[in-house]
Amino acid sequence: MAQTYHIITFGCQMNKNDSEHLAGMLEFNGAKHTAEPEAADILVLNTCAVRDKAERRVYGQLAKYNFLRQKNNSGQKLFLSGCMPAYNKTELQKAAPFLDGFLDIEEARQYPPRRENSPEVWVTIMQGCNNFCAYCIVPRARGRERSRTAEDILAEINKIDFTGRAVLFLLGQNVNSYAGTFNGQPLSFPALLQLILTKCPAVPKLAFLTSHPKDMTDALLEVIAREPRIDRELHLPAQSGSDRILALMNRGYTAAQYRALTARIRARAPDVQLSTDIIAGFPTETEAEFEDSCRLVRETGFFRVNTAGYSARRGTAAAQMPRLEQKIVDARLNKINQLINSLKSAHT
Ligand code: SAH
Ligand code: SF4
Ligand code: F3S
């Protein structure tokens, strides 16, 4: 009888897309999907390492399913994939010696995805990150930037059946620093967008995640403004509204430059709505610097703001900086979340 598998996915859209490739790899090897994690012969946890909380969630699920497979004497195989094993395999093996192994994303990407049935469909165009923001584990988990060729990307898109799909998401840790090729010639991100819109008429709407403010070129704004098929929701993580903190974070822009960019976007494409990410309680952040982040949120008018309390990640530059007390981090996170909620209710 064929083996069954189930994949539990943590983290970002990229991980969701990776899970589709993991599923494709398992199916290529004869396994069949089951909706029941407990009943699966092969259970994969595709993990996220971005914050301590994300890792704790994975450890919790690992313990749960290890307990269940022992209790049921099911012989289930338990595998880990994604960003946690990518940067601390040895520690994981120590903490969870009962694991049956690790599944490699690069290998899984060689297999066609088994796509989720959702209005969103995902295609990864670049992986990795060269930015080394001081707080972030992603460059360590995902490695340096690698862009796929336009030929590869177009071939993948042309295989997608867009019936019932509302939007194609192009994914990358730093999507707008895409630097691929087409016909052997260098190809920029805006040129790739244009190419996809021209060559793939079946694509209903085109969106992309995640853009770095420092890579929002005029050429990119031009394409967004010109092309109604590009999604009007643009995610542009600010992380902080304080220049000193932004410099410590190694973000490569000041608060004024970020504000000028949002103004430039609104002038060029007034129907674009912005969302952002803010980290509260970065090491050494003062109350006044935290208020700068609140002011940025109040004054920019985002349609969504994702917030997180700073979480130290081993091996990152910020992990060497003096940390704030956890209760200060928690209080600031609470405060900015309240601000965001009050802005929301003021709108509706
Ligand atoms: N490549 C994307 C996403 C990175 S991770 C980008 O550059 O924006 C997604 C979000 O998690 C980040 O935008 C940041 O706000 C948050 N984040 C990353 N590392 C964190 C940490 N150590 N502590 C708290 N939040 C963090
Ligand atoms: Fe992390 Fe910064 Fe790279 Fe985003 S741009 S993945 S926050 S290092
Ligand atoms: Fe995504 Fe989490 Fe990795 S946000 S890139 S799965 S650390």
Look at the domain 121-227 and name its fold. Transcription Regulator spoIIAA (3.30.750)
- Given ligand 1 and candidates 15, 209, 279, which is best to mutate, with the most ligand atoms within 8 Å of its CB? 279
Ligand 1 atom with the smallest distance to the CA of 277 is 15
Q: Is the CB of 212 under 6 A from ligand 2?
A: yes
The single-letter DSSP state of residue 64 is: H
- Quick one: which of 348, 331, 251, 341 has its CA closest to 291? 331
Q: Same topology for domains 121-227 and 232-348, yes or no?
A: yes
Sign for the CA dihedral angle at 178, 183, 186, 188 comes to: negative
Q: Is the CB of 45 under 6 A from ligand 3?
A: no
How does strand 4-9 pair with strand 32-33?
parallel
Ligand 2 atom with the smallest distance to the CA of 210 is 4
Sign for the CA dihedral angle at 1, 109, 234, 119 comes to: negative
Q: Is the CB of 211 under 6 A from ligand 2?
A: no
Torsion of CA 125, 306, 85, 130, to 10 degrees: 50
Listed in sequence order, the residues at least 6 apart from 276 whose beta carbon sits closer than 8 Å to its beta carbon are: 235, 236, 237, 238, 297, 300, 302, 304, 305, 306
* Distance from C-alpha of 102 to C-alpha of 86, rounded to nearest angstrom: 10
Per the CB < 8 A criterion, the answer to whether 97 and 90 are in contact is: no
φ and ψ of 37, to 5 deg: -60, -40
pLDDT, averaged per 10 consecutive residues of the chain (348 residues), comes to 93 97 98 97 98 96 97 96 94 94 96 96 97 97 97 97 97 97 98 98 97 97 97 98 98 98 97 98 98 98 97 97 98 98 82
* Distance from C-alpha of 78 to C-alpha of 98, rounded to nearest angstrom: 8
Listed in sequence order, the residues at least 6 apart from 16 whose beta carbon sits closer than 8 Å to its beta carbon are: 9, 116, 122
- Quote the pLDDT of residue 2: 81
Distance 147 CA to ligand 1 centre (A): 21
Look at the domain 232-348 and name its fold. Transcription Regulator spoIIAA (3.30.750)
Q: Is the CB of 174 under 6 A from ligand 2?
A: yes
Per the CB < 8 A criterion, the answer to whether 205 and 229 are in contact is: yes
C-alpha distances (whole Å) from 59 to each of 39, 49, 250 are 20, 11, 30
Q: What is the 3-state secondary structure (H, E, C) of 199-253?
A: HCCCCCCEEEECCCHHHCCHHHHHHHHHCCCECCEEECCCECCCHHHHHHHCCCC
* Ligand having the closest approach to the CA of 145: 2
- Quote the pLDDT of residue 152: 97
Q: Is the CB of 141 under 6 A from ligand 3?
A: yes
Sign for the CA dihedral angle at 133, 13, 312, 145 comes to: negative
Residues with CB under 6 A from ligand 1: 50-51, 135-136, 138, 173-174, 210, 212, 237, 239, 277, 279, 308, 310-311, 313
Q: For residue 334, give the amino acid letter.
A: N
* Ligand having the closest approach to the CA of 210: 1
Q: Is the CB of 129 under 6 A from ligand 2?
A: yes
Which residue minimizes the CA distance to atom 11 of ligand 1? 50
Per the CB < 8 A criterion, the answer to whether 219 and 188 are in contact is: yes
* Distance from C-alpha of 121 to C-alpha of 195, rounded to nearest angstrom: 18
Distance 240 CA to ligand 1 centre (A): 11
Give the helix ranges, DSSP H, for the chain: 13-28, 52-71, 83-95, 105-108, 138-142, 150-158, 189-199, 218-226, 243-249, 255-268, 287-300, 326-347
Ligand 2 atom with the smallest distance to the CA of 173 is 6
Q: So where are the chain's domains? A: 4-107, 121-227, 232-348
Torsion of CA 36, 58, 83, 196, to 10 degrees: 50
- b/e string for 37-53 if b means 16 or more Cβ within 10 A? beebbbbbbbbbbbbee
- Quote the pLDDT of residue 88: 87
* CATH, domain range 4-107: 3.40.50.12160
Which pTM was predicted? 0.96
Which residue minimizes the CA distance to atom 10 of ligand 1? 277
Q: Which residue, chain included where needed, has tokens 């990358």?
A: 172
Return the structure tokens found at 126.
């670049």
- Quick one: which of 226, 222, 208, 125 has its CA closest to 167? 208
Ligand 2 atom with the smallest distance to the CA of 250 is 2
Distance 47 CA to ligand 3 centre (A): 8
Ligand 3 atom with the smallest distance to the CA of 13 is 1
